[in-house]
Amino acid sequence: METQYDFDDIVNRRNTNCGRWDTMDKKYGTRDMIHLGVADMDFRAPVEIRDSLHKILDMGVLGYTDLSDKFFLSIQRWYKKQYNMDIPREWIVFCPRINIASSICVETYTEKGDGIIMHTPAYGPLQNSILKNNRKMLSSPLKKNGEHYEMDFAQMESMVDEHTKMMILCNPHNPTGRAWTKEELVQVADFCREHDLILFTDEIHGDLMKAGVRHQTALDVTEEMNDRLILASSPTKTFNIPGVIVSYMIIPNEKLRKEIEVTIDRIGMHNPTIFAVTAVEKAYTECDDWYEAVKKYIDANEVFTRDFFAKHFPEFHVYPREGTYLLWIDYQKTGLTEQKLEEWFLKKANVSVYMGSVFGEDGNQRRRQIQDCRCTGCIWNNSVRPEKMQPGISEKSTDIYGDCQYRNSRHRAQRLYIAGQ
């Protein structure tokens, strides 16, 4: 794809304390494996962000940092550009990570033993924010309607009781890639109002939508929803800067906002890192062109991936992607168990993946795939195929899928997360 940004440029991230490569090398005891389990991209961050961080380092004094006016203004600017919304400054609350935000919200707004609704399959850290705070996770499996997943409001209704205090919503949904519509979110708002639930919504993937699909932020649904809403987001996924460690919450309700600020004060979570404020400022004010280019590249990667699977592995069913840079893939027709498929990836394909059970029982026999980097074919490159996969093709795949940077070659690829049914 023609672009002024070279997303095909190969970056060797090993020997940099990299969570995706060095940590996984240690886990699996090899430096020759392709690791597809950590949700960051292998693209270089926008040069505007990198240059601004260089200037901080060149200054040479890495002291304490406070939030600046530009931090808040840049977030306000982004929401105006993306959603035509005017966000009051006082609604914005700094938090280092969304995983921290979800955990402190669970701690602040609920008591031990309270029930919290979570749609499954579910992103693990959001589940942990419930379970590790000794709350009861009320799993509400998403139901399939044709090619789409939907929330099951009847099932939620059947399990809610007086001890149910909160709902955690992933919007768009990780791992399935569903982008909730305004009509669906109105139903969520009505449900939360009827049962007096706080709504925490993780919208970190909201800026990474497929072309033609609009992200419906929960901030723009109903006034009643805003009165019980905590929205968490960050530029870290969008601009590939997760190592900077920065996020924020948007909390319209003053009472809820004051309560969470008490928790933040109690645990001493006041200051961002010296890089965080500048990274947010630059990402949300100077990187629009990079942002548009990376979305197009991700969309092109999806087309590449779908064509590849349709041609070589028709037993895999790739669900429609609306948001995120993930693909949710069903492997039931292969006839393989999750254990057997994972074993094939590790021992034959030499690839580490996240299986569907990582996302709970409702993830079994499905897999999650990320559209971020350069190669889809690398999974299968020079590897023996599992049984029942595409009969008639040579057992040993060669170089027909392009080259992988981690096998001394090059191609457009995706990172692959594996999730079950």
| pLDDT single digits (tens) 263-299 | 999 999 888 999 999 999 999 999 999 999 999 999 9
Work out the average pLDDT over 241-249.
Answer: 96
2 has pLDDT over 60: no
CATH of domain 63-286: 3.40.640.10
Relative orientation angle of helices 69-83 and 276-286, to the nearest 10 degrees = 30
CB 31 within 8 A of CB 411: no
Q: What per-residue confidence (pLDDT) applies to 364?
A: 61
Q: What per-residue confidence (pLDDT) applies to 365?
A: 53
**354 or 41, greater pLDDT:** 41
348-404 pLDDT, tens per residue? Answer: 888 887 788 888 776 665 555 444 433 333 333 323 334 433 332 223 322 222 233
324-352 pLDDT, tens per residue? Answer: 988 888 888 888 888 898 888 888 888 88
175 vs 122, 156, 204, 360, 395, CA distance in Å? 7, 20, 13, 11, 31
**380 or 34, greater pLDDT:** 34
Average pLDDT for the chain = 85
pTM, to two decimals: 0.87
Question: 323 pLDDT band (50/70/90 cuts)?
Answer: very high
Label each residue of 132-151 as H, E or C. CCCCEEEEEECEEECCEEEC
Q: What per-residue confidence (pLDDT) applies to 60?
A: 96
The SS3 assignment for 259 reads helix
Q: Give the residue from 101, 92, 72, 60 showing the smallest Cα distance to 274.
A: 60
* Architecture in CATH of 22-45+288-416: Alpha-Beta Complex (3.90)
- Report domain extents, the chain: 22-45+288-416, 63-286
Segment (H or E) for 120: strand 115-120
Q: Does the fold of domain 63-286 match that of domain 22-45+288-416?
A: no
Relative orientation angle of helices 276-286 and 47-59, to the nearest 10 degrees = 150
